[in-house]
Amino acid sequence: MKNITDHRPFLPNYSYLCPMKLLRRIWDLYYDGFRSMTLGRTLWAIILVKLFIMFFILKLFFFPNYIKEHAHEGEEAEFVGEQLKVEN
């Protein structure tokens, strides 16, 4: 039973706003969500494979380093400036 003479005001507990506790709660939310996935894991795996193909494989074969091939070492900035000034 509560003491009647205790007149301290109610102070809410804001410990959940502590940055480390907040980060831990966010981590737990995502960890539990991904752990309980079944179809979602397969979809995330497909997305990650597609991103790998788009950014690494395609870049190697279809997007050569044009500046490195046409500019001399140390003069890359001048080369880009000249290319921007040239009218086609």
DSSP assignment of 5-53: T--PPP----GGGSHHHHHHHHHHHHHHHHHT-SHHHHHHHHHHHHHHI
Domain ranges of the chain: 17-82
pLDDT at residue 11, rounded to an integer? 63
**Mean pLDDT (the chain, rounded):** 81
* pTM attached to this predicted model: 0.44
pLDDT at residue 8, rounded to an integer? 62
With 90 as the cut, is the pLDDT of residue 87 above it?
no
For a pLDDT cut of 90, what percent of the chain falls above it?
11
Sign of the four-CA dihedral 56, 53, 49, 46: positive
